[in-house]
Amino acid sequence: MMRFLLFAACACLYVTPVYATTIQYVGQLAFINNPLGIPDISVGDMYGGQFTYGNSASDVTSPPEFDLNEAFYSFVGSPYSATVSNGVATVTNNKLRMDIENDVMMDAGFASFLTALHGDTFTEGSLFDSWNINAWPDAALIDPPGGDGDPDFYTGGGTFFSIDVTSVDSYLYPGTDFQALPPALGGNNFGRFRLVQRDEAGNPLFDATGSLISLTAVPLPPAVWLFGSGLMGLVGAAKKKYA
């Protein structure tokens, strides 16, 4: 019995964390469309938080959707969640969707926006790859007809937020397969943070965009693995005792 209990404890310890990936981010606002003059949001504001989602395509909570150069992977409900905070207030959403784009042609508007945001020169017609993850409030419709992962196409009130990494190296991805981790920032990879607030009718209150300052994967704490190794040692000792 002791041997069984120890084995079960170790199995739970090693298997349970595997279903999810967590990444942490920090973003700084650069552009704000705030027609109603909502207070407490300004250019230069810093936001941070994290996204916790599945670590493989088999973890998605609804079948993946595929377009010519894009694929969508949804993660809805516990244990998946995302947070955004300005250091004073924190919002948590439980609807997430990852978008993977491969060899998409940059239009003039997107090229101009990226140039203004990052200070580099982006060219209309160039190809890019991107990794994007969005988070929606529970009251919002996550995938209405015509939606493409952009909060502009989603209904319902609350706070919507997303991060994405656009790579002007179109060889970053060979296709639109699931990617557990975003590309590293720097070099040809440019990160963006977006925050959108809507009222209950779905009308936009403000739409803010900025650069990603940092983006890191969260490893399983070493103490957990140490504890797991200790339990495995106990299993070995139990085997000797009861052999």
- The model's pLDDT over 95-116, given as tens digits with 9 standing for 90+, comes to 999 999 999 999 999 999 999 9
Residue 157 — pLDDT band, cuts 50, 70, 90?
Answer: confident
- With CA atoms as reference, report the closest residue to 79 among 94, 60, 63, 90: 94
Q: Which amino acid is at 229?
A: S
Q: What is the pTM of this model?
A: 0.80
Q: Which residues pair with 204 in a beta bridge?
A: 198
- The reported pLDDT for the residue numbered 100 is 96
- The model's pLDDT over 52-67, given as tens digits with 9 standing for 90+, comes to 999 999 999 988 988 8
Please say if the pLDDT value at position 174 is more than 80.
yes
- The reported pLDDT for the residue numbered 123 is 94
Q: Which of 14-18, 107-111, 236-240 has the highest mean pLDDT?
A: 107-111
Q: What percent of the chain has pLDDT over 90?
A: 62
User: What span, in angstroms and rounded, lies between the C-alpha atoms of 174 and 154?
Assistant: 29
User: What span, in angstroms and rounded, lies between the C-alpha atoms of 6 and 4?
Assistant: 6
- The reported pLDDT for the residue numbered 155 is 67
Is residue 112 classed as helix, strand or coil in its secondary structure? helix
Contact 59, 76 (CB under 8 A): no
Residue 5 — pLDDT band, cuts 50, 70, 90?
Answer: very low
- The model's pLDDT over 27-55, given as tens digits with 9 standing for 90+, comes to 999 999 999 898 889 999 999 999 999 99
- With CA atoms as reference, report the closest residue to 38 among 166, 197, 211: 197
- The model's pLDDT over 113-129, given as tens digits with 9 standing for 90+, comes to 999 999 988 999 999 99
User: Mean pLDDT, to the nearest integer, of 71-100?
Assistant: 94
- The model's pLDDT over 201-237, given as tens digits with 9 standing for 90+, comes to 778 899 999 999 999 999 854 433 333 444 334 334 4
Q: Which of 3-12, 17-26, 79-88, 194-203 has the highest mean pLDDT?
A: 79-88
Q: Which parts of the chain fold into alpha helices (H)?
A: 2-15, 108-118, 222-242
User: Mean pLDDT, to the nearest integer, of 151-161?
Assistant: 73
Residue 159 — pLDDT band, cuts 50, 70, 90?
Answer: very high
Sign of CA dihedral 150, 43, 25, 200: negative
Answer with the residue of higher pLDDT: 9 or 40: 40
- The reported pLDDT for the residue numbered 2 is 35
- With CA atoms as reference, report the closest residue to 13 among 229, 234, 179, 160: 229
- The reported pLDDT for the residue numbered 204 is 81
